[in-house]
Structure 1
Amino acid sequence: MADEVFSGGVSVTGVEPGATTITIKSTTNPNISKKVPVTVKSRNLLAYGPASGNGLTATVNSDGSLHVTGTATGQWMGVSWTFPCTVQGNVILSRPTSIDGLTVSVKCLDADGGQLGAQVIVGNAVAIPAGTVNLRFEILSSEATPTAKDGDLRVQLESGDTAHEWMKPDVTSLEGGGVMS
């Protein structure tokens, strides 16, 4: 019997985020096993929470989605959250629910807050540019004359180039504020 060599390590996928344990058992000696504590993290890399600015207010629903209300004070104005970039390689942004007249995007920022590369928009997988320190998640009005909004958004940023079913992000308590793009 040949030994199998795995490059890239072990990958464990959990059903729900949180603390759990995995049991590793020997296939050659059933008496040898080890329980290892693990923390399952959300595949959704976004971080957000309550935010208000430029006429829009975002609150977090019990399922972790965002509820957005109000009327933006102008086109390309809205709310945003800035948080550390914890990913390299390709990412994809998906939005299984939307609110007409609002657009979502993620911008990659350098250490000085300057934008690197093009923004990440829904449906396009892009590479995180070298030098990215933070990400900024934005919800902006795309209307020339903004109208009142009242609805829920489920937005997901994840590693890779394939969008999966929406998951609540690990961080839903990050305070955000107004932004003009």
Structure 2
Amino acid sequence: MTISPAPHRHRLVALTLLAAFGTAGCGTGSDADPGGDASGSAAAESSSPEPSSAEPEAPTAADGTDYAACDDGSCEVAVSSEPVSFAFDEFTLTVNATEDGIETRKEGDGGTGTGSMSGGYCLSYVTVDGTSTSCYGTVEDGAVPEAPEPEPGVLALELLHVADGTAIIRLTMG
């Protein structure tokens, strides 16, 4: 009879994983005393700043509420519950903020369409013929992705942030 080492390996792997998961929630040890003094680590932990459970500071729109900044096809503005219209060559896009996102209305030669975005960072490509939207949840540490480079005739509408009835959007017309 031959005894296979496989069961021992499975146990070893299981114990290794258990040890790794068991210590995953523990600190990195960077606050500990380099000399290994356990009493020093407690003092270091109490004097180090507590992790912030608050959300990062709300971003501000680069162009504020200067909607004329969008005339060149590129802007970052704050929109509230009052509708704001942005006119482009082939269509007009009207945007207003909701409690957790924005509502949009597109009017042009291709017809009229409505839509909404909510739930964090969203990106919508708007053309005279239609709209394609994807939402990705909140961005890490309030980091805003770079503006996309849409093709000619395509408007990239990004919902960057929403708070207190005000949405920060970025428009980039190709």
TM-score (norm 2): 0.29
TM-score (norm 1): 0.29
Q: Name the structure with the higher helix share.
A: 2
Higher relative contact order, structure no. (Cα contacts within 8 Å, ≥ 6 residues apart): 1
Q: Name the structure with the higher strand share.
A: 1
Work out which of the two has the higher radius of gyration on C-alpha atoms and give 1 or 2.
2
